Amino acid sequence: MKLEDWHTHSELCRHATGTIEDYVKKAIELNLATIGTCDHFPYEFLKNIDRIPYGEYAITIDEIQDYLATAESLRQKYKDKINIRIGFEVDFFENQESALNNHLNKVKSRLDYILGSVHILDFQDGKGAWGFDDSRFKEDYEYYGADKVYTQYFKTLRNMLNSEQFDFDIVGHFDLPKKFNDFPNDKELLINEAMKTLELIKHKGVVIEINTGGLRKDVKEQYPSEELLNHMVDLDIQILLGSDAHKPYQVAWEFNSIIDILKKIGYNHLTHFEKKKKTLIEI
Ligand SMILES: [Zn+2]
Ligand SMILES: [Zn+2]
């Protein structure tokens, strides 16, 4: 089978290196069937982001048109060699969906998919929103502790799933708070919070990304963990693969070993998106 990588970034989001074309060329070299480009959607129209160094997280509003035009011209240029699918990784901020939609709705018809992610938490305690997967906020992570971070994270993910205004197709890096290898003291907490969230994902018919970026981080495992993958297959939740590449050489990172794990667990299909329409491919 030919593999598909749905989660790659480029230098446009200011914390990755390489142009979109560099990632496309790498994907062709690896003989992938599809590469999805999904840079971070802008933040600057959001409220309560004073502490967030969003200038280094995402493209800007002014760059949206350029991003799409570049990706579209590459899609044409390489159409005989690879499918290029165009998306955004969009952060969920509670109660700010209409500000987001003011910008996102203008370009949605040009997108193949939207990856919905939570990187930012707000405990509503006056300390302001902060990025729990950014090592510069390690003090905040320690201040709240893993039990509170995981609980708040999964609650925010469920709010994202329940939001009628937040339109997305795929949940990104499902158990991201483990990135730095921090886990709750309460052993049941992670599985209980995750299961509540997985049942909601099943109910909403949303896809989960198997993100191999975690294998490059302190935790050294994909998101979600193998334990959660077993529950996902029981719930019949659909999946696809993403490397979260921030450098061209990371495209399709460890995909062959992940495919082996998925087959062993009982997965035999991955999803594919084109203009937000989902189809299944066999593995
Ligand atoms: Zn992300
Ligand atoms: Zn990403």
User: Residue 9 C-alpha to ligand 2 middle, in angstroms?
Assistant: 6
Q: What DSSP designation does 194 have?
A: H
Q: What is the mean pLDDT of residues 36-54?
A: 96
Q: What is the mean pLDDT of residues 52-75?
A: 96
Is the pLDDT score of 44 beyond 90? yes
Q: What is the mean pLDDT of residues 206-214?
A: 98
Q: Which ligand is nearest to the CA of 15?
A: 2
Between the alpha carbon of residue 54 and those of residues 61, 120, 183, 223, the distances in Å are 12, 11, 26, 23
User: Residue 52 C-alpha to ligand 1 middle, in angstroms?
Assistant: 15
pLDDT at 277: 98
pLDDT at 1: 82
Q: Which ligand is nearest to the CA of 7?
A: 2
Q: What DSSP designation does 50 have?
A: T
Q: Which ligand is nearest to the CA of 116?
A: 1
Is the pLDDT score of 168 beyond 90? yes
Mean pLDDT score of the chain, rounded to an integer? 97
Is the pLDDT score of 278 beyond 90? yes
R_g (Cα) of the chain, nearest Å: 18
CA–CA separation, 90 and 104 (whole Å): 9
3-class DSSP state for residue 24? helix
Between the alpha carbon of residue 245 and those of residues 19, 156, 167, the distances in Å are 12, 25, 24
Is the pLDDT score of 187 beyond 90? no
Q: Which ligand is nearest to the CA of 13?
A: 2
Query: pLDDT-derived band of residue 245, with 50, 70 and 90 as boundaries?
Result: very high
